[in-house]
Amino acid sequence: MTYRVIDLFAGVGGLSYGFAHDPEFEIVAANEILKPMAEAYSKNHPSVKMYNKDIKDFSVEDLTRDLALKKGDIDVIVGGPPCQAYSTVGKRLIDDPRGKLFQEYYRILKELRPKVFVFENVKGLLSMQKGELIETISSLFASIGYHLQMKVLNAADYGTPQIRERVILVGTLSDKPFTYPKPTHYNPELGSPKNKSLKPYVTLGEALGDLPSIKTGECGTHYSKKPQNSYQKLMRENAPSEIVDHEVPKNSERLVALMEALPDGGSPKDIPEDLRPKSGFANCYCRLWWNKPSTTITRNLGCPSSSRCVHPKDPRPLSTREGARLQGFPDNYVFCGRRGDKHLQIGNAVPTFLSSAIKDAIKDYLKGKHNPEEKELTLF
């Protein structure tokens, strides 16, 4: 049996990546309002019907007209409305234009009635409006018959070379409990785990070590060495003959000197005072660690004055391709538009390894496999 999937607020396909690469799932349609993102999604997933439109203009009528699909034909919906929509308190969200994105997600669930939906968002959603917002969201989903479970998952626990925590809210029409995926990796800084099958976190160095060293304003097109580990091998499967997007903007001499002075994992407080920036937050102009996972990648991954994104060895920020690798996108994955567009596509994505773990858990659920002993959940 093949399960049909709809991808909302699709971006370049991070949250749906696992579903797209499992033959037991078929992503039949996706919606993404930003044109460069929609173009990138279509280049990577040409068989998916892409609707490049405002979510309020997307409905079951489109699916019926174009794909002969109707209510009840979709098994899974995945998506995460941008958190900018969550700016009001309590039930006023439903009547506030700034809450329209979330309201549209709810509307489409109501129209299509999938067996399962996955809603992803930033961890900060849980504390917005002192917790009232997530309760409002949950109540709205529950009002149309969905049983909800929620958990914060860290992408590093599933093999991503990046610390990235996300709220994963799962809704099911059946009342049988959904089991979240169990971690496959652990943080070695916390000691050895009881579960000896777990692997240590994948480090930035393990993820990027085969990419060539480049300096400010440069572009690297050839791998510096053969794959050194399973992560690099996976990233290079079906890769083009030349590396794409391994490039960085040109920075000023003063900024380069600042970055050169940073030690591994260092910040401006670790360098001579005359090189320190005059302003900026504590995590600005900071170097990443070679032997640790990356901190959370953002759309500003190429801007040293943003949150920690300076390469551990070279005096420059991360390249576009390095950012993609730290999100788990293989080297043949295509991004579209200008550099800023590509960085937005990468920074906004859900890591592919987290997507694959969620996909496996959804598949087990749809096939009737679940573990009622699963704990550490918030139930609604």
The rounded distance, in Å, linking the Cα atoms of 258 and 21 is: 42
Do 6 and 29 meet the contact criterion of CB atoms below 8 Å apart? Answer: yes
Residue whose entry in the numeric block shows the structure tokens 């039930």: 91
Q: Of 83, 219, 286, 303, which residue is the catalytic one? A: 83
The reply to whether 83 belongs to the active site is yes
Beta strands of the chain (E only): which ranges? 3-8, 25-31, 49-51, 76-79, 116-122, 147-154, 165-172, 185-186, 199-200, 378-379
The rounded distance, in Å, linking the Cα atoms of 247 and 219 is: 4
DSSP 176-239: SPP-PPPPSEE-GGG---S-TTPEEPPPHHHHHTTSPP--TT-B--S-SSS--SHHHHHHTTT-
The rounded distance, in Å, linking the Cα atoms of 145 and 158 is: 31
Catalytic residues: 83
